[in-house]
Amino acid sequence: MNNKAVNHGGIIILSSFAVAFILNMVPLPDNLENYRPEWVTLILIYWCLALPHRTGVFTGWVVGFLLDVHLGSLLGQHALVLSIVAYLSYKLHVRIRLYPLIQQSLIILLLVALSQMLILWISGITANAPGDWSYWLPSLTSMLIWPWVFFLMRFIRRVYGVN
Partner 1 sequence: MQYVGAIAIKQLFDEDSSYLARLIFVVVFSIILMTADHRTNMLSGVRSLFSLIIYPLQTIASTPVDAGLWLDGQMNSHQSLINENEDYRTQNLLLKAQLQKFTSLQAENIRLRSLLKSSRKISDQMLIAETIAVDLDPYKRQIVINKGQRSGVYAGQPILDAYGIMGQIIHPGVPSSTAILITDPSHAIPVQVNRNGLRTVLYGTGAANFLEVQNLPNNADITVGDLLITSGLGGRFPEGYPVAVVKNIKRDPGQPFANIIAEASAHLEQSREVLLVMGLARETIEQEQEQEQEKEKDSHEQ
Q: What is the dihedral of CA 134, 33, 15, 67, to 10 degrees?
A: -70
Question: In 3D, which of 84, 33, 45 has the Cα closest to residue 76?
Answer: 84
Residues 56, 109: Cα–Cα separation, whole Å = 19
> What mask of x and - would describe binding to partner 1 in positions 17 to 36, judged by CB under 8 A?
-x--xx-xxxxx-x--xx--
Contact range with partner 1 by CB under 8 A, out of 7-15, 40-48, 67-75, 155-163? 67-75
CA 163, 67, 90, 115 torsion: positive or negative?
negative
Binding partner 1 (rule: CB under 8 A), the pick from 39, 40, 45, 56 is: 56
CB of 86 to partner 1, least distance (A): 8
Taking CA atoms, 58 is separated from 20, 26, 50, 81, 105, in Å, by 18, 26, 16, 12, 24
Assess 71 for contact with partner 1 (CB under 8 A).
yes
Binding residue (CB under 8 A) for partner 1 from 2, 3, 72, 98: 72
Regarding 52 and contact with partner 1 (CB under 8 A), the answer is yes
Q: How far is the CB of 111 from partner 1 (least distance, A)?
A: 15
Draw the binding track, 93-112, toward partner 1 (x: CB under 8 A; -: no contact).
-x------------------
**Per-residue b or e along 140-151, where b marks 16 or more CB atoms closer than 10 Å to that residue's CB:** eebbebbeebbe
Query: How many other CB atoms are there within 10 angstroms of residue 6's CB atom?
Result: 6
Phi and psi at 99, nearest 5°, equal -75, 150
Among 8, 11, 70, 151, binds partner 1 (CB under 8 A): 70
Under the rule (CB under 8 A), what is the footprint of partner 1? 18, 21-22, 24-28, 30, 33-34, 52-53, 56-58, 61, 65-66, 69-77, 79-80, 83-84, 87, 90, 94, 122-123, 126-128, 130, 135
